[in-house]
C-alpha cells in the first residue's frame, strides 16, 4: 500500500539520508538556499485532522514544512492549526477568493484581506500564500495578482509566481499517484524537467540512486494514512471523482451537476 504514513516517513528519511536540507517556503522567499534542498508544502484541502499526523512525523525528524489552510470549514480547524504551529511548522493561506467572488476582483480582495488577517491574528504571522486550484470555477485565483501586489499585503511569495520551476523541480501527489497531474486542471507547472514518478517507491529509488533533482518543491496532500478503511475510501472516491470530472469535460449537463456537487460540498 502506497501513501501510508509509514511510506511518508520512509520518503522523508530517504531525502535526509541523501543529504537534502528542508527549507520552508518562507525561508526560500527570504533567500535561503542549500546545495540540495526540499521545500515541503502541504495544501490542507480537507480532513485537516490527518495533517497533524504528518506534522508530527516531520517534527520528530526535525523537518519544518509549510501548511496552507483554506477558509472553508473542512480545512479551517483552529485546534488543528494551533497544533501544527506548536510543532514548529509554517502556516500559509490557501486562498480561493477570486473563484468565490465569481471574478469580482474588488470583492475578492476584500475577503482575501479579511481571511489573511484572520489567519495572522489567530495563529501565525503569515508571510506566504498559495492558490487553491478551484477546478470547477472558470476563475483562476492567481489572477488576483494581475491587479494587486503581494508586497502591498506584506506577503513574500506565492509558489506559482515566486518559483522558477525550470530550476526547481516540482512534484505533487494530487491523488494517490505522483503523476496524477495528468488529471489536474490548475495545480500544474510548466517545467523543463522530464522526471516523472508514479508511486512513492519510485521516488525513493530515484533519491537513493542520486537521480532525483537536487532542488525541489514537494507538494504532498494531507491524506496519507495508515487507516485501511480511510485509505480505501479516499482511493475509491478519487477514482470516482476523476471519472466524473472526465465525463463532465465532454458533457455540459454532467459538468453542471459536477460543479453543483463541488459547490455544495465546499460551502462555508
Q: Which of residues 119-148 bind Zn ion (CB under 5 A)?
A: 132
With respect to Zn ion, which residue has the nearer C-beta, 37 or 157? 157
With respect to Zn ion, which residue has the nearer C-beta, 81 or 207? 81
Minimum gap (Å) between residue 267 Cβ and Zn ion: 16
With respect to Zn ion, which residue has the nearer C-beta, 42 or 132? 132
Residues 41-80 as x/- pattern, contact with Zn ion by CB under 5 A: --x-x-----------------------------------
Minimum gap (Å) between residue 123 Cβ and Zn ion: 18
The residue count for binding Zn ion (CB under 5 A) is 3
Q: Which of residues 19-48 bind Zn ion (CB under 5 A)?
A: 43, 45
Minimum gap (Å) between residue 94 Cβ and Zn ion: 6
Q: For residues 226 and 230, what is the distance between their CA atoms, to the nearest angstrom?
A: 8
Minimum gap (Å) between residue 211 Cβ and Zn ion: 29
With respect to Zn ion, which residue has the nearer C-beta, 80 or 204? 80
Q: Which of residues 156-215 bind Zn ion (CB under 5 A)?
A: none
Minimum gap (Å) between residue 116 Cβ and Zn ion: 16
Q: Angle, nearest 10°, between helix axes 48-60 and 5-17?
A: 30
With respect to Zn ion, which residue has the nearer C-beta, 135 or 205? 135
With respect to Zn ion, which residue has the nearer C-beta, 15 or 141? 141
Residue nearest to Zn ion (CB): 132
Minimum gap (Å) between residue 49 Cβ and Zn ion: 17
Q: Are 54 and 220 in contact (CB under 8 A)?
A: yes
Minimum gap (Å) between residue 185 Cβ and Zn ion: 11
With respect to Zn ion, which residue has the nearer C-beta, 127 or 221? 221
Q: What are phi and psi of 193, to 5 degrees?
A: -75, 140
Residues of this chain that interact with Zn ion (CB under 5 A) are: 43, 45, 132
Amino acid at each position: 500500500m502506497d501513501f501510508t504514513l509509514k511510506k511518508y516517513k520512509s520518503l522523508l528519511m530517504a531525502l535526509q539520508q541523501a543529504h537534502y536540507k528542508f527549507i520552508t517556503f518562507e525561508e526560500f522567499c527570504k533567500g535561503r538556499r542549500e546545495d540540495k534542498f526540499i521545500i515541503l508544502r502541504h495544501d490542507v484541502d480537507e480532513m485537516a485532522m490527518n495533517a497533524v499526523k504528518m506534522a508530527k512525523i516531520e517534527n520528530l525528524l526535525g523537518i519544518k514544512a509549510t501548511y496552507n489552510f483554506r477558509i472553508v470549514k473542512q480545512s479551517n480547524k483552529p485546534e488543528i492549526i494551533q497544533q501544527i504551529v506548536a510543532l514548529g511548522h509554517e502556516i500559509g493561506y490557501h486562498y480561493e477568493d477570486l473563484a468565490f467572488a465569481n471574478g469580482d476582483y474588488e470583492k475578492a480582495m476584500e475577503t482575501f484581506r479579511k481571511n489573511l488577517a484572520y489567519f495572522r491574528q489567530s495563529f501565525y504571522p503569515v508571510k506566504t500564500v498559495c492558490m487553491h486550484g478551484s477546478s470547477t470555477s472558470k476563475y483562476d485565483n492567481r489572477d488576483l495578482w494581475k491587479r494587486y501586489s503581494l508586497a502591498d499585503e506584506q506577503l513574500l511569495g506565492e509558489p506559482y509566481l515566486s518559483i522558477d520551476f525550470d530550476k526547481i523541480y516540482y512534484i505533487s501527489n494530487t491523488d494517490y499517484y505522483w503523476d496524477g497531474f495528468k488529471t489536474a486542471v490548475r495545480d500544474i507547472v510548466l517545467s523543463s524537467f522530464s522526471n516523472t514518478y508514479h508511486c512513492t517507491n519510485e521516488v525513493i529509488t530515484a533519491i537513493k540512486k542520486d537521480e532525483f533533482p537536487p532542488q525541489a518543491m514537494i507538494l504532498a496532500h494531507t491524506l496519507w494514512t495508515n487507516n485501511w478503511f480511510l485509505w480505501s475510501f479516499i482511493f475509491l472516491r478519487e477514482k470516482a471523482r476523476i471519472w466524473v470530472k472526465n465525463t463532465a469535460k465532454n458533457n455540459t449537463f454532467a459538468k453542471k451537476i459536477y460543479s453543483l456537487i463541488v459547490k455544495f460540498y465546499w460551502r462555508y
